[in-house]
Amino acid sequence: MRVHAASALAAALVVSGMLAACAEYPLHANMVDTEFNAVLDQNFRTGMTFTEVDAQLDQLRVSRDDRRLYETTPAQLLARVYQPGGRWLDDDDDMIRWVDTWFVFTGGTMEPGALTRWYTRRGAQRYFHGEPVYPPPASETAYPTRRYPFSPPPPAKPPEAP
């Protein structure tokens, strides 16, 4: 009886710890699409400036290292959102999952104007003993996929590029 109660308590602590970790990251790749989009809708609005979008991403704890402004017209900012805590592997055979969130602005990259819309794309990369398994072709990424702990590379261009 005591063993069962101790196991139940341990399981409850693990689940509550996982939920607490997610709470620290108001936007993360473990969210279902409806939750993820609801957070975007609550925090972003059309007409925001590039600086305002960047500041709001800071508030949502999206790392500046995981953002990239593409030289397109209209300008597009990629904010790659990983699972809570970042892009970590826990097992020899594991996946890194993310949601690429694209913010589209009027104007070009030299002077991004007002935010017109945003869209998302989910992605993942499998690693086996730190080596990427079936990475995308280098022509589709900004740089080649490298061995873990390097981040999976962002796309070479936005999926909805003009």
Host H or E run for residue 152: none
Please state, rounded to an integer, the average pLDDT across all residues of the chain.
Answer: 87
Give residue 54's domain range. 2-140
Instruction: Give pLDDT, residue 13.
Output: 43
Instruction: Give pLDDT, residue 1.
Output: 52
Q: Is 33 a member of any domain? A: yes
Question: pTM for this one?
Answer: 0.82
Q: Is 70 a member of any domain? A: yes
Q: Is 50 a member of any domain? A: yes
Q: Is 160 a member of any domain? A: no
Bin 85: left if φ > 0, else alpha if -120 < ψ < 50, else beta.
left
Structural domain count, the chain: 1
From residue 90, alpha-carbon distances to 10, 39, 93, 129 in Å are: 20, 27, 8, 11
Instruction: Give pLDDT, residue 3.
Output: 47
Which regions in the chain score pLDDT beneath 50?
3, 6, 8-21
Instruction: Give pLDDT, residue 86.
Output: 87
Instruction: Give pLDDT, residue 9.
Output: 47
Q: Is 135 a member of any domain? A: yes
Instruction: Give pLDDT, residue 23.
Output: 59
Q: Which of 66, 59, 137, 52 is nearest to 96 (CA)?
A: 66
